[in-house]
């Protein structure tokens, strides 16, 4: 067949260019006669054979696949595996995206439609990992309507979980919750048996309700998730359930309850597998350590140091920014203002302009790090950082993240002596949490008990402001980064 002859000729050319004999290329896995037949176009290699030969020839397996004139299932399966490896193992979403697109273009015909949809799912995941969330949402939305044609390669429920995650990151919390609750209602109506992705839906929805501030609903969902995860029995299901339960306890102001739940979630993570998920979970664990009274900043610093490399290699920009913010908070508590400043700058570099609450938190940490130097120029820069934090929050009008960031800004302004703006920031925090308040009268001065006002909107005790750090607010770091099945 012509496409096999083309492949054989290409292998022969590459072998000679590399100075290898047929025996050298065969190695311990194949016979020289097999290599001879392969080069003559008289054998059809499996995907694993192509991968091993490409390694010995010093070329990309994709190059060997492209030597074939006609795409068949085996070849496309190889390309999909290589794309998955680029995304999950190498942490290269753009390289993975190119591979997924190549598969999609070649998976023509009804008999290859499932591979094309699998490539679409991979492309959506790669876009999300690269921070291109609007494009990812478009891909996921198309997949929701076509998942039934994927022969089980694309789970409609898992795609819905991914959409919830993306809409939350884009700031549309209400739509994310509506999607998740509708999916949960449908699962319950159909009476489906518990599955891993069903547990992930419950965990994801719990995280969204934490974000909104409805900790009671979040705890209801996590209780169900833990019960169902026990019947599913997979480490991923158990990890997602305990992760979400720890998150709900943290968001409810109970770090002592959150720690053992998160430690159980960590214990489910197989060593060396899905380092991004494990890294994000450890960031949340460090955030809880920082919210203890007193904060365990040294332990948090050690936890974050261990997870820095995995998230640098495999995390999204948002993952890396969350890690840098938590690490900056730990360094401030440990009196290391210079290190905190560097980490806050790193977080700001990773965050897009639309990530208002996250940028505000990083700017507040930067302001404190600058103010701690005692330098006049640094103090001016700290004031500028506070103003930029307020600007970053201009469009943040609802949700727990926005409310927490406004409260942190109010605390910083109050400590800086800007009492009027501090009161207005506290009022905005309350509004983000759903309280309807009248506009403050002109020239309103400082309010006694402002910290207690912040406690009202967070539904938790406000930790005391330390000499070296702002109060530590729970940051919603959730298990929404699970890969759709």
**Selection from 218, 242, 220 nearest residue 229 by Cα:** 242
Q: Measured between alpha carbons, how far is residue 43 from residues 7, 70, 77, 232 in Å?
A: 10, 15, 18, 43
- pLDDT per position as a tens digit, 194-233: 899 999 999 999 999 998 888 999 999 999 999 999 999 9
* Alpha-carbon span 73 to 475, nearest angstrom: 45
Report the chain's mean pLDDT, rounded to a whole number: 84
Lowest mean pLDDT among 66-70, 164-168, 224-228, 339-343: 66-70
| 2 pLDDT tier (thresholds 50, 70, 90) | low
Cβ neighbours of residue 191 closer than 8 Å, sequence gap 6 or more: none
| Percentage of the chain exceeding pLDDT 70 | 87
- In the structure encoding, which two tokens stand for residue 302, read together? 């050690």
For the segment 359-370, the average pLDDT, to the nearest whole number, is 92
Q: Tell the residue number behind the tokens 């074939």, with chain if given.
A: 68
pLDDT at 240 exceeding the cut of 50:
yes
- In the structure encoding, which two tokens stand for residue 244, read together? 């979400």
- pLDDT per position as a tens digit, 433-451: 777 666 655 544 433 333 3
| 455 pLDDT tier (thresholds 50, 70, 90) | very low
Helices 196-212 and 235-251 pack at an angle, to 10 degrees, of 10
Question: How many C-beta atoms surround the C-beta of residue 55 within 10 A?
Answer: 12
For the segment 137-150, the average pLDDT, to the nearest whole number, is 88
* Alpha-carbon span 326 to 358, nearest angstrom: 11
For the segment 312-331, the average pLDDT, to the nearest whole number, is 92
Instruction: Classify 335 in phi/psi space as left (phi over 0), alpha (psi -120 to 50) or beta.
Output: left
Question: How many C-beta atoms surround the C-beta of residue 370 within 10 A?
Answer: 23
Task: Compare 404 and 478 and report the one with higher pLDDT.
Answer: 404
Residue 28: burial class (beta carbons within 10 Å; 0-12, 13-18, 19+): exposed
- In the structure encoding, which two tokens stand for residue 324, read together? 């840098």
Angle 143-146-150 from CA coordinates, rounded to 5°: 95
Q: Are 128 and 166 in contact (CB under 8 A)?
A: yes
Q: Are 268 and 278 in contact (CB under 8 A)?
A: no
What is the 3-class SS of 196-221, one letter each residue? HHHHHHHHHHHHHHHHHCCHHHHHHH
For the segment 372-388, the average pLDDT, to the nearest whole number, is 84
pLDDT number for residue 436? 67
| 262 pLDDT tier (thresholds 50, 70, 90) | very high
pLDDT number for residue 24? 92
* Alpha-carbon span 357 to 389, nearest angstrom: 8
| 71 pLDDT tier (thresholds 50, 70, 90) | low
For the segment 140-164, the average pLDDT, to the nearest whole number, is 88
- In the structure encoding, which two tokens stand for residue 192, read together? 């489906």
For the segment 386-410, the average pLDDT, to the nearest whole number, is 85
pLDDT at 479 exceeding the cut of 90:
no
pLDDT at 382 exceeding the cut of 60:
yes
């Amino acid at each position: 067949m012509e496409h096999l002859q083309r492949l054989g000729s290409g292998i022969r050319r590459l072998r000679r260019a590399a100075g290898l004999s047929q025996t050298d290329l065969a190695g311990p896995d194949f016979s020289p006669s097999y290599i001879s037949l392969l080069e003559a176009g008289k054998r059809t290699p499996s995907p694993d054979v192509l991968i091993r030969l490409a390694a010995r020839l010093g070329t990309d397996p994709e190059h060997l696949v492209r030597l074939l004139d006609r795409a068949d299932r085996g070849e496309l399966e190889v390309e999909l595996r290589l794309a998955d490896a680029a995304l999950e193992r190498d942490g290269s979403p753009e390289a993975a995206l190119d591979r997924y697109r190549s598969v999609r273009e070649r998976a023509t015909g009804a008999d290859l439609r499932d591979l094309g949809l699998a490539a679409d799912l991979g492309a959506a995941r790669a876009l999300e990992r690269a921070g291109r969330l609007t494009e990812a949402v478009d891909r996921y939305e198309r997949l929701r309507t076509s998942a039934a044609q994927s022969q089980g390669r694309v789970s409609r429920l898992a795609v819905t979980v991914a959409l919830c995650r993306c809409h939350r990151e884009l700031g549309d919390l209400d739509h994310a919750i509506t999607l998740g609750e509708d999916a949960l209602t449908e699962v319950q109506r159909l009476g489906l048996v518990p599955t891993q992705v069903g547990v992930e839906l419950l965990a994801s929805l719990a995280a969204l309700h934490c974000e909104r501030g409805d900790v009671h609903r979040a705890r209801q969902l996590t209780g169900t998730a833990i019960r169902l995860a026990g019947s599913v029995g997979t480490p991923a299901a158990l990890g997602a359930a305990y992760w979400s339960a720890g998150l709900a306890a943290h968001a409810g102001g109970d770090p002592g309850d959150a720690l053992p739940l998160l430690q159980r979630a960590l214990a489910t993570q197989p060593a060396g597998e899905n380092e991004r998920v494990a890294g994000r979970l450890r960031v949340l664990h460090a955030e809880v350590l920082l919210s203890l009274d007193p904060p365990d900043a040294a332990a948090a610093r050690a936890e974050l140091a261990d997870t820095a490399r995995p998230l640098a290699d495999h995390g999204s920009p948002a993952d890396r920014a969350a890690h840098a913010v938590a690490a900056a908070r730990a360094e401030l508590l440990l009196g290391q203002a210079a290190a905190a400043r560097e980490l806050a700058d790193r977080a700001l570099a990773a965050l897009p302009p639309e990530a208002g609450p996250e940028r505000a938190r990083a700017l507040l940490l930067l302001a404190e790090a600058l103010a701690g130097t005692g330098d006049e120029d640094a103090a001016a820069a700290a004031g500028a950082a506070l103003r930029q934090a307020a600007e970053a929050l201009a469009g943040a009008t609802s949700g727990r993240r926005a409310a927490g960031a406004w409260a942190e800004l109010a605390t910083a302004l109050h400590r800086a002596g800007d009492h009027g703006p501090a009161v207005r920031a506290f009022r905005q925090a309350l509004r983000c949490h759903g309280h309807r308040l009248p506009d403050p009268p002109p020239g309103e001065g400082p309010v006694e008990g402002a910290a207690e006002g912040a406690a009202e909107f967070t539904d938790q005790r406000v930790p005391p402001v330390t000499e070296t750090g702002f109060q530590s607010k729970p940051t919603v770091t959730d298990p929404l980064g699970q890969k759709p099945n």
